[in-house]
Amino acid sequence: MIRPQPRDSVALMEGYHSPQIDVDVRLNTNESPELPPSGFVEEVSAAISKIEWHRYPQRSATELRTEIGKLHGVGHEQVFAANGSNEVLQTLLLTYGGPGRSAAIFEPTYALHSHLSRITGTDVIEGERTADFFLDMDEVERVITGSRPAITFLCSPNNPTGVVDTEDQIRRVLELVSDVGGILCVDEAYGQFADFSAIDLIGPDVPLVVSRTYSKTWAMAAARLGYLVAPGWIIAELEKVVLPYHLDAMTQVAGTLALRHLSAMNERVDRLVEERGRLMAELANLSVDVWPSASNFVLFRPREHEGVDVWQGLVDRSILIRNCASWPRLEGCLRVTIGTPDEDDRFLAALMEVLA
């Protein structure tokens, strides 16, 4: 038998993986360290008991999309929901990318932007950020005007660096994208930690989409729910591409009920921001270089040890963080998610042992 082969572009790929290791303290995937409020869990349990399991879920997810829209001051026709923000981004690329089209990214940034682009047959145009990982606006202009990408990706706060793009920068990128007939996608997976949201710039004739996720600040990583806010004409095109009944009934219920607990989510964000400040202050006293962060994680690089050796030393002490050394421009870098104070204390104690 001649074994069937995947298309060439897939055969050359490495999958996107985040290690799942059995450890005491897991600080590698930017999840919320806290559970949702107990009231939320009880509400979801009660609602699940009423699901008609022999019926397909509501295909349009109108109730969920309506409630998300209320959160951002738009109608449901401007909201697209899917299984995590990654499916949201994949659907965007299937709709507006593909063979003969390109997507622009600015490294270092979220690895799924380039990975999903390649999966969908979309060429990837890589631009460079500054040495301290901020947007280089001359480089952005060079890439967009020279390559005319169908989709330009920004991630703000940027993963894995924690940097936030300013409103003026996003407005300028939007102007450049509009001039070449493209779409700007601002990935705000950590948007609740920032002072400004690009959602405020969305308008009827603005080629802008903003993606968000329930996995981080809503403490719902297990639900795999993400969404995108955009002009209605973009949402209508995405709905042509997405698989029918792609969003199951339990996810729709959980996503709708979570929005009743906005104040709890905001309080959780405030606690994480305060804990982030404490963790960064402690890291500043160690022999590591630390980058400022406006998210729920911190990027750092050991000065006197190889990053992979520090990562392994932490794993040996049952602490798991993210090794970012294989990401573009991040040689030797590690990223730690903000955990509970107890988890962070264990991380700091283990890190000091390893560095010693």
Task: Render pLDDT for 9-19 as a digit per residue (tens, 0 to 9).
Answer: 665 556 555 66
At residue 149 the predicted structure's pLDDT band, cuts being 50, 70 and 90, is very high
Q: Which of 8-22, 46-60, 257-271, 298-312 has the lowest mean pLDDT?
A: 8-22
What is the pairing mode between strands 288-290 and 183-187? unpaired
CA 113 remoteness from chain centre = 10
Q: Are 110 and 324 in contact (CB under 8 A)?
A: no
Query: Which pTM value belongs to this model?
Result: 0.94
What's the rounded Cα separation, in Å, for the pair 44 and 38? 10
Q: Is the pLDDT of residue 233 over 80?
A: yes
Whole-number average pLDDT of the chain:
95
Q: Are 258 and 43 in contact (CB under 8 A)?
A: no
Position 9 scores a pLDDT of 67
Position 102 scores a pLDDT of 98
Position 5 scores a pLDDT of 76
DSSP annotation of 261: G
CATH 1.10.3720.10 assigned to 8-36+263-355? no
* Three-state secondary-structure class, residue 355: helix
Task: Render pLDDT for 62-102 as a digit per residue (tens, 0 to 9).
Answer: 999 999 999 999 999 999 999 999 999 999 999 999 999 99
Q: Are 30 and 216 in contact (CB under 8 A)?
A: yes
Q: Count of CB atoms within 10 A of residue 7's CB?
A: 8
At residue 215 the predicted structure's pLDDT band, cuts being 50, 70 and 90, is very high
What's the rounded Cα separation, in Å, for the pair 85 and 191? 13
According to CATH, what is the number of the domain 50-261? 3.40.640.10
Q: What is the mean pLDDT of residues 116-137?
A: 96
Position 38 scores a pLDDT of 87
Q: Is the pLDDT of residue 3 over 90?
A: no
What's the rounded Cα separation, in Å, for the pair 5 and 63? 42
Amino acid at 236: A
Q: Is the pLDDT of residue 325 over 60?
A: yes
Q: Domain residues of the chain, as ranges? A: 8-36+263-355, 50-261
Q: Are 98 and 247 in contact (CB under 8 A)?
A: no
Task: Render pLDDT for 271-316 as a digit per residue (tens, 0 to 9).
Answer: 999 999 999 999 999 999 999 999 999 999 999 999 999 999 999 9
Q: Count of CB atoms within 10 A of residue 195's CB?
A: 8
